[in-house]
Structure 1
Amino acid sequence: MSDDASRNEPEAEPVDTAAGHATAADSAAPSATAPTTLADGEWHRVHPATPFLRGGIFFLAIIGFVIANLRERFISIFVGPGENTSGDPVDFILAEGLLGVAALVVFGVVLLIVGYSYLSWRMNSYRVTGDSVELRRGIVFRTHRQAKLDRIQGVEINRPFIPRLFGAAKLDVSVAGQDGKVSLEYLRSAEADSLRSDILTLASGRSLSGAADGAAAEGRGGLGQAVHARVEDLLSREADSGVADWRTAVRVPTGRVIGSTLVGWTTVFAILLVAAFIVIAIVGSSWALFSLIPAAIGFGSYYWGTITRSLKYSIAQTPSGVRVASGLLSTVSETVAPGRIHAVEVLQPLLWRPFGWWTVRVTKAGVSLEDQMKASVNVLPVGRLEDAEAVLLLLLREGHGRRAAGVLPELIADPAGQGLTMSPRRARWLSPFAWRRTGLAIADGAVVSRRGVMWRRLVIVPLVRVQSLQLTQGPVARLFRVAAATLHTVPGPVSATMPQIDVRTAEALLFTAIGRVVGQMRSDAGERWDAEGRGSA
């Protein structure tokens, strides 16, 4: 991916997708692309409401400032003038005869805002060719970003609540590299769905032969149809209506989402905090209870955000890859391209164990460190073990650990019986409880590791995604002839470290893994995962 702030090249006039497509074909457009798709090599503009949607907080701040300064005037309209209206800017303007000047100032400010918004929209355009996705924007400082199709890791569609009401969506194209993302904000919702499919089709190596979309149809059916579409979207069972065309492998009940959020260490901390404040109020002053108000707002925001983000969850296999969607008000829908998972972890927190709940999270390239820590990396927010197994079977390809995913319950319950090399008995002095449940194996083109007793976890790392391998042995571990084996992939939430492995076994596994990594890389299908039209579904 590249950023270019000063490219002096002839720029074609962008096509306004609201008015239709241009008839002149761009030289970069692939010949196989259908003329009705947005991936036609032409420059297109984003949603006309983009300046407002991106600067919504700024406009709300202006409105709040006006209301705060004219509150006395607004009150007098309904209840009559107050006793003290001195300092009212409206009274001052009227008394000094500056009404015309004030009107010109307001008109000038409005004109400036409208003009700037129009220019920012005109200068914000994108195009999709047979090789890349490009975005250029900026009025004073121009930027030109490019994402190569053969480096795409996934495509995500975000629909924040306010843009969702306008039928708009933000499309993020993730490529390899930290913060390697091209964001098209905002597009019409149907256009975003269609463009995502086209980008992933081109990235797979297939052509768009005869592909057509009705992306613009949604916005041309009148106000009534637009309102009906928004209501259906908000009331739909799926967070992403596109998943409805495919069989959802896993569903998460609302009660389970709420329960898993409440059964956590955050709730334990909240209970202890409330108990501490109650004791302080009893012993000291009752005013201490008012200090709970900010804490209650903080905890409430956390619970609300976590629950609404995980509701209406769905995951399905589509021809473009695995699609994961969730969200009640603001929705996130991501399509992960085949073979783009660098590591996957099945985890059971301690407090979830009585309920039999598990979560699945992944490490992907092209996601910033900040985003890696968000809930978007949890491809399964909460589910039973059979749900986790179904998710893994969708995410992992043959030769990337898929066979291990098919025996997930057995690997969790009896790792030694599934062929994993376990920690030696002498490791019990370093890990008294977990040594019986710590082991690893190389199978089906992946490294599989199992560890943990109270916090049980299973990690699968496809060998083709391993960047380096490391053995670590401290002075204490050297006494017991054990070592820790670590697989390095791209930065992410999944830690592929296997502690307390017999040192000779770890060395043998290390050299075996190195040989197989080289073999996997040579036999890998490459970045175009479906160049021969085999189909990714």
Structure 2
Amino acid sequence: MSAPPEPGWQRFHPLSPLLRGGLLLLAVVGYLASQLVEDLLGGVTGRGEGGPDGGWEASAGEHPLLAVAAVALVVLGVVAVAAASWWFTRYRLGPSTIELTQGVLFRRHRQARYAQIQAVSTTQPLLARLVGLAEVRVESAGGGDSHMSLAYLDRRSAAGLRDQLLGLAERAGADPVGAGVDGDARDESTEVSPDGLDRSPAAGPPSPAGTPPPPVVSMPFGRLLASTVLTLDTLVITVLVVLGLGVGALFGQVAVTGFVVPLLLYVVGKVRRLLTWGNLTMRVSGRTLASQHGLTELATSTVPLHRVQAVELTQPLLWRRPDWWSVAVNIAGVKVGGDTVVEEGVIVPAASRAEAEGLLGVLSTTMDTTPARSVMRDGLPPQAVGCPPSARLLDPWAWRRRGVLLADEVAVVRSGRLARVVTVVPWGRIQSVEVSQGPLARRLGLADVRLVSTVGAVRPLAQHLAARDAQEVAEEMRARSRERRAGPTPSAPSRPLPSGS
């Protein structure tokens, strides 16, 4: 069919074309075949429409062999297209790049340099999971269409290819693009031994050979289910259902139909969340945090620890009694989290306090996160910069709980009204600091300080500070960020920080 492939080129599993979209075409062919059988039986038994206007059914009854041959040709055509697609789709691991070729008539050649690879993950959609296959996704620097899909391989081959690509990317010195990572991208205390185990303090003691390390996070399905239900939108939907039942009792069944659509959207969203995050486990593996989750579609992804730019921990109002927190991150060059806007950047939808604090320590590698954990437990300390009393006009409910703490190695921003939000940004990850004022805030002598990190769901913002405090905090942040880039550890502040007005 073609010339022998060049050395190093490998093909995917023969079922790959069907799993990539051929199953839909196969279902159409199956439907046509079933219709043909029905029409043939109708034509032979005389129970069809018959006559010159009988259409396809009459023609099939008069010429059954031709009809069977036509369907056979269609099936053979589908098989031939799938076989050609499989034959001409190949990948190769070159000296410095991974290459992928596709297409029969119009050839497409893609490649990604190992030094630009940001993340490698594996996914198993339901149908692929049933036949033991998996897809390897390679994300590299270069925009939204920078990922490469290698589908499909058997599970063992996919896991081996993922590990091989991660090793090649690490040896090639792959670092996230953009500013804000040069000073902290690789800490000298983060060491990887020849056996591939992380010897940094964040990684903890190595596991015995042949056994996986203990999970940092292991989320029971009961917690996932309870956290999915204990939300404010559940309260809203409950109120709508009660109102719908009341309106239906007063005005009849027609009045209830207006509440059906929001109820269906709510149920679909909650079921999707359960299917996405079920069986979540996270483990430290070398310099990465390996995550596996999914009930129907099993996804295995890795978070490169040295590329974490910011961490945000959120505790909604209804989660305070069980003390659960969701954890979101910004990672340079990599999109993580769910597909919805609400879950963008989320890596753990509901962690216990112990898991959240442990995960914060892992994500911050060798940095001291004690101030951030203290803010999670007790709120802002006296040395933090808080909001002045004039901020109550803009934020009457939470102005006392807002503020920013400038710790030795990280900036900690506390915010939230109904939900507690703690954002942690290492000094070396800050790209820039902005101070902004709206017209009303200017009249009240207030200003906001925004810490610009890499693009992501976490957007650190200290709101409603006194204008003079905001300027001093921003200057101190810039100084510490520059100092962190230039040296391993920031020195003490050059001047006393404001304590809030």
What does residue 217 of structure 1 align with? none
Greater RCO structure (CA 8 Å; 6+ sep): 1
> Structure 1 residue 349: deviation in Å?
1.4
After superposition, the C-alpha distances for 1:348-396 in whole angstroms (9 at most, x for unaligned) are 1122223322110112344469947374732111022221111112222
Distance in 2 (CA, whole Å) between partners of 1:144 and 1:471 is: 46
What does residue 159 of structure 2 align with? 193
Residues 338 and 84 (structure 1), Cα distance of their counterparts in 2 relative to 1, 3 Å cut: same
Q: Alignment partner for residue 410 of structure 1, among 374, 385, 405?
A: 374
Distance in 2 (CA, whole Å) between partners of 1:82 and 1:352 is: 68
Residues 479 and 111 (structure 1), Cα distance of their counterparts in 2 relative to 1, 3 Å cut: same
After superposition, the C-alpha distances for 1:375-427 in whole angstroms (9 at most, x for unaligned) are 473211102222111111222222xxx322x4444112434427432223432
Q: Is the 8 A contact 2:122 2:301 kept in 1?
A: yes
Q: Alignment partner for residue 404 of structure 2, among 408, 420, 440?
A: 440
> Structure 1 residue 110: deviation in Å?
1.9
Q: Is the 8 A contact 1:200 1:337 kept in 2?
A: no
What does residue 301 of structure 1 align with? 268
The runs of 5 or more residues in structure 2 that have no matched partner are 174-191, 197-208, 489-501
Identity of aligned residues (%): 29
Amino acid at match of 1:46: F
When structure 1 is superposed on structure 2, of 179-188 and 273-282 the one drifting more is 273-282
After superposition, the C-alpha distances for 1:425-457 in whole angstroms (9 at most, x for unaligned) are 432333233222212234354332111242110
Amino acid at match of 2:160: S
What does residue 285 of structure 1 align with? 252
When structure 1 is superposed on structure 2, of 340-349 and 51-60 the one drifting more is 51-60
Matched residue SS, 2:306: coil
Q: Alignment partner for residue 481 of structure 1, among 434, 445, 451?
A: 445
Q: Does 1:379 find its partner at 2:333?
A: no
Q: Alignment partner for residue 299 of structure 2, among 332, 354, 359?
A: 332
When structure 1 is superposed on structure 2, of 68-77 and 111-120 the one drifting more is 68-77
> Structure 1 residue 463: deviation in Å?
3.5
Q: Is the 8 A contact 1:14 1:45 kept in 2?
A: no
Amino acid at match of 1:384: S
What does residue 426 of structure 1 align with? 390
Q: Is the 8 A contact 2:224 2:274 kept in 1?
A: yes
What does residue 173 of structure 1 align with? 138
What does residue 182 of structure 2 align with? none
Matched residue SS, 2:279: coil
What does residue 93 of structure 1 align with? 59
Q: Is the 8 A contact 1:158 1:169 kept in 2?
A: yes
Distance in 2 (CA, whole Å) between partners of 1:152 and 1:394 is: 22
Distance in 1 (CA, whole Å) between partners of 2:240 and 2:210 is: 42
Q: Is the 8 A contact 1:72 1:88 kept in 2?
A: no
Residue pairs, 1:121-132, within 5 angstroms: 121-132=86-97
When the two structures are aligned, how many residues end up with a matched partner?
453
Q: Does 1:154 find its partner at 2:122?
A: no
When structure 1 is superposed on structure 2, of 327-336 and 373-382 the one drifting more is 373-382
Amino acid at match of 2:225: I
Q: Alignment partner for residue 452 of structure 1, among 412, 416, 421?
A: 416
What does residue 254 of structure 1 align with? 221
TM-score with structure 2 setting the length: 0.79
Matched residue SS, 1:514: helix
> Structure 1 residue 293: deviation in Å?
6.3
After superposition, the C-alpha distances for 1:455-474 in whole angstroms (9 at most, x for unaligned) are 11011123333333211012
Amino acid at match of 1:132: T
When structure 1 is superposed on structure 2, of 50-59 and 294-303 the one drifting more is 294-303
> Structure 1 residue 164: deviation in Å?
0.9
What does residue 513 of structure 1 align with? 477
After superposition, the C-alpha distances for 1:79-125 in whole angstroms (9 at most, x for unaligned) are x979666698774234332x333233223222221221122112222
When structure 1 is superposed on structure 2, of 376-385 and 184-193 the one drifting more is 376-385
Amino acid at match of 1:423: C
Q: Alignment partner for residue 145 of structure 1, among 110, 116, 136?
A: 110
The runs of 5 or more residues in structure 1 that have no matched partner are 1-10, 16-23, 25-41, 213-241, 525-537
Matched residue SS, 1:317: strand
Residues 521 and 69 (structure 1), Cα distance of their counterparts in 2 relative to 1, 3 Å cut: farther
Distance in 1 (CA, whole Å) between partners of 2:152 and 2:216 is: 30
Q: Is the 8 A contact 1:135 1:145 kept in 2?
A: yes
Q: Is the 8 A contact 1:342 1:489 kept in 2?
A: yes
Q: Does 1:135 find its partner at 2:103?
A: no
Q: Does 1:494 find its partner at 2:462?
A: no
Distance in 2 (CA, whole Å) between partners of 1:475 and 1:519 is: 34
> Structure 1 residue 313: deviation in Å?
1.0
